[in-house]
Chains A and B, each alone.
Chain A
C-alpha cells in the first residue's frame, strides 16, 4: 500500500507547470490514493465495531484488555487515515479536480477533467484521439465531446477566426460604423492624448492609468456590495493617490509607465485594460465590471459577478484579439473607442429584434444587447462627417443580443 503522507511542496509547484496529461495522471493517482484511504477507514471502522461488540458482550473476559488496546490502536490509525485523506482532498481541490476551478485557470485547456462518461468510464486525457479510443462513451458522445473540446479551444485561442470565412471576405467593403479621421489619429500619439480625447468625446467618462500594484490596491479599496452599508451615502471614495496621469502615492514616475487603464462610466460600467508592458501601447487583456463592484478580482483578466458583464468581457476579449491582429499600432486606440460604445449598454435596443431584453437560449438568462460589432471598426479612416458629430456617431454603433449577433454585422 502506498504511503499516503503529505507530498513535498515542490510537487505542487511542478504540477502547476505540467502539461494537462501529467496533471490528470497525478490527479487520478491521488484519487486512487484517496480511494484506498477510504477503504482503510471502512476496514478500521469495522474492526472497531467488532471489538466494541466483543467487549460489550463479555466485559470480564480475559481478552477484553487486549480488545481495548486494539480499539485504541485502531482509533489512532483511523485518525491518521482521515488526516491523510483530508490532505489529499486539499491537494485535489487545489489542482481543481474536486471543483470547477480548473476551467478558470490560465493554463486550463478549456475542458473539464477528469471526464466521467455516462457508463462510469473515466476519461483521463482530453485529446481527440484518446476520446475516440475510450470504449465507454458512445460514438455520438465521443464525437460531441471532441467537437466541444475543439470549438472551446478554437474560441479561446483563435477568437478572430471567423465562423464563416466566406462571408467575411464579401463584407470587407462594408464601412466602419465609427470612422476616426487621420488628423485626429495623428494627434493622439501618446496614451494621455488618447484618454483625454476620449473623455472629451464621451460624456461622463472618467479615464485613469495606474501601475499594476497601484491598480490592485485601488481595486481592493473599491466599495463592494458586500461591505457597503446603507448609511454610506458617499459613493465617491476618493483614492488619494489617484490623480490623472500620475500613478502611485510615493513614486513620481512619468505617466508613460502606465500598465493598467481604467475607463469608468458611472452607473454603467467600469472597464479595465491591461497593457502588455508598462508604458507600451499594446493592450493584452480587457474586462468589464459593474461600477459598484470592488475587490481584488477586479482586473483585466478577472470576471465580474454579473452575467451581463461576464459576457461583455468575453466579447471584448475577442474584439481585442481582432484589433491587435488587424492593426497592432492602432489597437489600443480602437479598443478604447470600442469599449466606450458600451455607454449605451442598458439603453440601446437590439438592432435586429428591436427589444432591450431577451432570453438567451443557450444560458437561459435574460440579457440586454451586449454585443457590439468590432470587425470592421478601424481607426484611421477618413471621416465623411466632421468631427463635431462624433458624439452622435457613437449612437450609430449597433448593438445585438447574443443570439441576434452574427459575424456579418
Chain B
C-alpha cells in the first residue's frame, strides 16, 4: 500500500495549539491545489493494566496503545513502543479485552479532520481531541504518496514534498511547525513494503512525542 508520513504540530515555545492554526493549515493545503475529498477519523487508546495490587500493575508496560485506523475500521492495532511490538488484530479484540478486564482504557484520543487530494499525493489534516471532549490537544498531518509502496524508495520524494509543504506553510507565519519523526521500522520487525502496521507505529510514536512536549511545557510552567 502507498507510503505515508505522519507529522505532528510542534508549537513554538510559549505558545499552544489552537483551531486558528488548524484552519490555516487546511487553507494551505487548498492553496497548493489540494481538492477536499472528505473526512477521516482514527482513534488511539492508552491502556493501563488492571491488577489486584498496584505494585504488580506498575510492572506492566505503560506505553501500551490500541489504534483504530480510518482506512481499515475492521482492524485494530496494538503497539507497545518500549518493547518495539506491533500486532494487527481484528477489531473484535476490543471486545475480548473488555471481557478480560485485564487492561482498561486510560485515555482515548480522536484524530479527525479533512482529506485533500493533490494529484498523486493525499494529505490529511486532523485535530487531536480527547474522546468526549472538544479541547484541541494537537494537530496531525498524514502525507501519502500513492504510486510508491517502498519506504526506502519514497524517502527522497517525501522529503522534498515535506520541504515544499513547510515552505508554503512558512508564508503564513504560524507559531510552530510540523515535525516528522521516523521510527526505526526494522526494530518493530516491519519490512520496507509499507503497511498499516507502519502507520500504527507512526501514530504511537507521534502521540508519545506530543505528550512529552506538553508535559515539558507544563513542567516549565510550574
Contacts and interface: CB of A to CB of B under 8 A. Distances in A.
Contact of B161 (A291, A306, A357): A357
A357 B164 contact: yes
B146 A306 contact: yes
B63 interface: no
Contact of A363 (B72, B119, B146, B160): B119
Interface string A223-248: 00100101101010000000000000
A228 B160 CA distance: 28
Contacts of A346: 147-148, 153-154, 156-157
Contact of B147 (A231, A290, A356): A290
A306 to B, nearest CB: 4
A368 interface: yes
Contact of B2 (A225, A307, A355, A366): A225
B97 interface: no
B70 interface: no
B143 to A, nearest CB: 11
Interface stretch (B127-135, B189-197, B211-219): B189-197
Contact of B119 (A230, A267, A268, A366): A366
- Most chain B beta-carbon neighbours within 10 Å: one of A228, A292, A305: A292
A374 interface: no
A16 interface: no
Given A230-B75, A308-B120, A309-B147, A356 B160 contact: yes
Contact of A292 (B72, B149, B195, B196): B149
Contacts of A305: 146
Given A292-B149, A365-B119, A228 B1 contact: yes
A267 B153 contact: yes
A225 to B, nearest CB: 6
A366 B88 contact: no
A300 to B, nearest CB: 19
Contacts of A309: 147
Interface in B94-124: 118-121
Given A306-B147, A357-B164, A365 B120 contact: yes
A349 to B, nearest CB: 9
Interface residues of A, number: 29
A307 B145 CA distance: 11
B83 to A, nearest CB: 21
B32 interface: yes
Nearest to A225: B1
B89 to A, nearest CB: 10
Contacts of A367: 119-120
Nearest to A228: B1
B18 interface: no
Interface in B1-26: 1-2
Interface string A198-235: 00000000000000000000000000010010110101
Given A346-B153, A359-B32, A365-B33, A230 B120 contact: no
A357 B160 contact: yes
A299 to B, nearest CB: 18
Contact of A230 (B118, B160, B161, B195): B195
B161 A366 contact: yes
Interface string B136-168: 000000000011111011101100110010000
B118 A365 contact: yes
A176 to B, nearest CB: 27
A364 interface: yes
Given A356-B157, A366-B119, A308 B147 contact: yes
A347 interface: yes
Interface in A140-179: none
Nearest to A306: B147
A233 B156 CA distance: 25
Given A225-B1, A366-B164, A230 B146 contact: no
A230 B33 contact: no
A266 B195 CA distance: 16
Nearest to A229: B72
A235 B193 CA distance: 9
B72 to A, nearest CB: 6
A267 B155 CA distance: 12
Nearest to A364: B33
Contacts of B32: 359, 366
Interface in A324-376: 346-347, 355-357, 359, 363-368
A363 B119 CA distance: 9
Contacts of A292: 1-2, 147, 149
A347 B197 contact: no
A7 to B, nearest CB: 39
Looking at B2, B118, B152, B157, the one whose CB has the most chain A CB atoms below 10 A away is: B157
20 contacts: A230-B197, A235-B193, A266-B150, A267-B149, A267-B192, A290-B147, A290-B148, A306-B146, A306-B147, A307-B119, A307-B120, A346-B154, A347-B156, A355-B160, A356-B160, A357-B161, A359-B33, A364-B33, A365-B119, A366-B121
List 8 tightest A-B contacts by C-beta distance, closest first: A365-B119, A267-B150, A364-B33, A230-B196, A306-B147, A290-B147, A357-B160, A356-B160
Interface of B: 1-2, 32-33, 72, 75, 88, 118-121, 146-150, 152-154, 156-157, 160-161, 164, 191-193, 195-197
Given A230-B75, A364-B33, 11 more contacts: A233-B195, A267-B149, A267-B192, A290-B147, A308-B147, A346-B148, A346-B157, A357-B164, A359-B32, A366-B118, A366-B161
